[in-house]
Structure 1
Amino acid sequence: MNLPDPRSPLSPLNPKRNPLGDISVLHVGVMLRAAEAEGVNVQDLKRRFQLSEQTLTSPAARISIPRFMRMGHAAIEACGNAGLGLRMGALSRPVDAGIAGLAGEAASTAGAGLLTLIRYSLLTSRNARGTPTAQPEKRRLQFYSIRPYNAFNYFVVDSVLAGWTQFLRTITGQWDVLERVTIEYPSTGMDELFETWFRCPVQFSAPVNSLTVRQDAWTRETMQAQPAMHEKLTQICDKELQEIQRGWTTGDQVRSLLTPLFRGETPSLETIASKLGITPWTLQRQLAAENTGFRELMDDTRKQLARDYIRETETSLSEIAWLLGFANPAALHKAYRRWFGVSPGEHRKQFRETTPQLLT
């Protein structure tokens, strides 16, 4: 299997490309199906977001997370259904999660299938905010926080939780598979719709985005259980995951860990070293061998993310300051002028004037 070189700056697997993250066109395809089912002119949507058939049919193609969110928001505005994320989940299939979805479908139990999806999530989506996690002992899957929440990203949480639920329903043949769903953002007035769709209690304004699976569903044998095929497919997934991770320098690994930890604080060298399983001295030595340092990486990561937040999103300056770990907006303003020679507000205005298509 020919994989894109993860070290190339053009590779969708390179963490330096799209600092905020990127997502496989497999997920874009699900969005387009859901939008079309809601009566949206998807050909127009594809033209607006410059998505060619060649891109949509390329197994390695990805688009940036901000572009994906703008596209989802545009689809919601076009159809008027704020619950489009649930529709996306309902229309998703195991194959829409790529090889990991097929591997999960062939797992012996539903729980093992879900854990397969979580383990290989990086193969189809990379987000600077974090990665999905699982607590098998609690039969719980958790989607990372993507605060601050707004009309551009509610549907992302909905589609992920609904997609996991639909996957579970598909591989078990059961409809009632959940005990509880928690959603971090506040209620948008669709509580009844969500509880009807998930068929369990749904808590908004919760500490985390998660779903808890019923015991009988977690341990249920999957309808397509095939141990030999599951093993073969997970071997392919492991190979792809190794290719991604092999291409990451120590600096790349530090960058990937920094962003989720920035929120309201400045991560320390000791914290990052601990997460990498090495000593602070070893981390400093490895970074020095790559002609960089921890403070330099932290500043550069903030610089890239700040530019992307200003250019790609409508996030307020106070929220961006918090997301990047600055003490206040004034500290962000000072750093931004040092980086770009212009204030963040002025830079956003320039982006909007020179690239109005970013608003679509």
Structure 2
Amino acid sequence: MDSANLPPPPDRNPLGDISVLYVCVLLRAAEAEGVNVQDLTNRFQLNEQTLTSPAARISIPRFMRLGHAAIESCGNATLGLRMGALSRPIDAGIAGLAGECASTAGAAIQTLIRYSLLTSRNSRGTPKTEPEKRRLQFYSIRPYNRFNRFVVDSVLGAWTQFLRTVSGQWDVLEKVTIEYPSTGMDELFEGWFRCPVQFGAAMNSVTVRQDLWNQEAMQAQPAMHEKLVLLCDTEMREIQRGWTTGDRVKSLLTPLFRGETPSLETIASKLGVTPWTLQRQLSAEKTSFRKLMDDTRKQLARDYIRETETSLSEIAWLLGFSNPAAMHKAYRRWFGLSPGEHRKQFREMIK
């Protein structure tokens, strides 16, 4: 199964999760900006045991709130770029090490991205490479706000820094495109990436220089690259093992909601089966497409309300409701109170 289609384990946060390896990069950048990271880790209940566990992950919403809190503390809205500058191949785990010893810079970054699921999973999608265009694309995480812009900056920044590390060169890109609108710091971004940066673009991406794409990597070691890739493949197979058809359906639903209700036919097509076969498989698991869609919306709604500051109208759009009123009605059916009342309760609990 292609990594882009891998489903999440059923016990993980439906919005996604991320390795503490990236949390440590965030804390490293915050500390470099003068933030008292001990206060930050205490506030977000991140103890030393969690931060030093290679298997530990935190939810995507929690990671975004942590990043926002760090930005609020240091006043640097471009903390994501600082994260990128301080990223090392090892911060991407075994995928980073495998990429570092690939034969060329292009092969190195493709390896890193191909195994990104080993350290992060987001219900919005997966990053991808377009080798023929030398383009690396990070999926959309609209709508953008002060909680998630730094995520785009940090990912594109980390990819750029990785290319600088494996190539030994500073100017590695032709251009950068960023989906969210300009925040008035265009010159700062162009100075950091050392190439033109387009805001309000159709996608989040970086395009690698042609000469650099085929350049031999500084740490190229074919035998070690092969060994580490085999380890990555083994871990990827472990991720796939034991998930049901229902889990796969739920993983596909979230990115397809966005202003509409995905059909059974659409999901069946993405799974490579007929609608009738999908219905039969779900029935054998004692569930249904309608129930899975309702359960997924319920989980996502709760987490959007609890973990983010996303507006109710934006949440309705993200969950595929025709309008906020329809989402409001469903929320009352699920939880017995309105989204606004529930958010107020959650805020009071963490005071």
TM-score normalized by the length of structure 2 = 0.96
Aligned partners of 2:347, 2:48: CA distance in 1, in Å?
28
Residues 212-227 of structure 1 aligned to structure 2 (within 5 Å): 212-227=207-222
Match of 1:56 in 2: 51
What is the CA distance between 1:286 and its match in structure 2? 1.5
Question: Alignment RMSD, CA only?
Answer: 1.3
Q: Which amino acid aligns with 1:109?
A: T
What is the CA distance between 1:18 and its match in structure 2? 1.1
Aligned partners of 1:255, 1:319: CA distance in 2, in Å?
20
Q: Which amino acid aligns with 2:41?
A: K
Note the alpha carbon deviations across 1:102-155, whole angstroms, 9 max, x for none: 000111111111111111111100111111111111111111111111111110
What is the CA distance between 1:341 and its match in structure 2? 1.3
Match of 1:72 among 63, 67, 70: 67
The answer on whether the counterparts of 1:110 and 1:222 sit within 8 Å (CA) in structure 2 is yes
The answer on whether the counterparts of 1:284 and 1:293 sit within 8 Å (CA) in structure 2 is yes
Q: Which amino acid aligns with 2:198?
A: Q
The answer on whether the counterparts of 1:178 and 1:199 sit within 8 Å (CA) in structure 2 is yes
Q: Which runs of 4+ in 1 moved over 4 A?
A: none
What is the CA distance between 1:271 and its match in structure 2? 1.3
What is the CA distance between 1:354 and its match in structure 2? 2.4
Match of 1:181 in 2: 176
Gaps of 5+ in 1: 1-5, 8-12
Aligned partners of 1:75, 1:185: CA distance in 2, in Å?
20
Match of 2:187 in 1: 192
Question: What SS class does the counterpart of residue 299 from structure 1 fall into?
Answer: helix
Aligned partners of 1:345, 1:230: CA distance in 2, in Å?
51
What is the CA distance between 1:179 and its match in structure 2? 0.8
Aligned pair count reads 346
Q: Which amino acid aligns with 1:263?
A: R
Percent identity (aligned): 83
Q: Which amino acid aligns with 2:278?
A: L
| 2:141 equivalent to 1:165 | no
Aligned partners of 1:35, 1:247: CA distance in 2, in Å?
38
Gaps of 5+ in 2: 1-5
Match of 1:3 in 2: none
The answer on whether the counterparts of 1:195 and 1:202 sit within 8 Å (CA) in structure 2 is yes
TM-score normalized by the length of structure 1 = 0.94
Match of 2:328 in 1: 333
Q: Which amino acid aligns with 1:235?
A: L
Note the alpha carbon deviations across 1:8-35, whole angstroms, 9 max, x for none: xxxxx62442111110000001011111
The answer on whether the counterparts of 1:36 and 1:42 sit within 8 Å (CA) in structure 2 is yes
Q: Which amino acid aligns with 1:23?
A: I
Q: Which amino acid aligns with 1:29?
A: C
Match of 1:249 among 244, 255, 258: 244
The answer on whether the counterparts of 1:16 and 1:252 sit within 8 Å (CA) in structure 2 is no
Aligned partners of 2:181, 2:161: CA distance in 1, in Å?
23
The answer on whether the counterparts of 1:259 and 1:324 sit within 8 Å (CA) in structure 2 is yes
The answer on whether the counterparts of 1:269 and 1:294 sit within 8 Å (CA) in structure 2 is yes
Match of 1:10 in 2: none
Question: What SS class does the counterpart of residue 36 from structure 1 fall into?
Answer: helix
Question: What SS class does the counterpart of residue 126 from structure 1 fall into?
Answer: strand
Match of 2:310 among 307, 312, 315: 315
Aligned partners of 1:279, 1:16: CA distance in 2, in Å?
28
| 2:342 equivalent to 1:347 | yes
Aligned partners of 2:62, 2:187: CA distance in 1, in Å?
30
Residues 1-360 of structure 1 aligned to structure 2 (within 5 Å): 14-356=9-351
What is the CA distance between 1:284 and its match in structure 2? 1.5
Q: Which amino acid aligns with 1:230?
A: H
Aligned partners of 1:133, 1:262: CA distance in 2, in Å?
21
What is the CA distance between 1:249 and its match in structure 2? 1.2
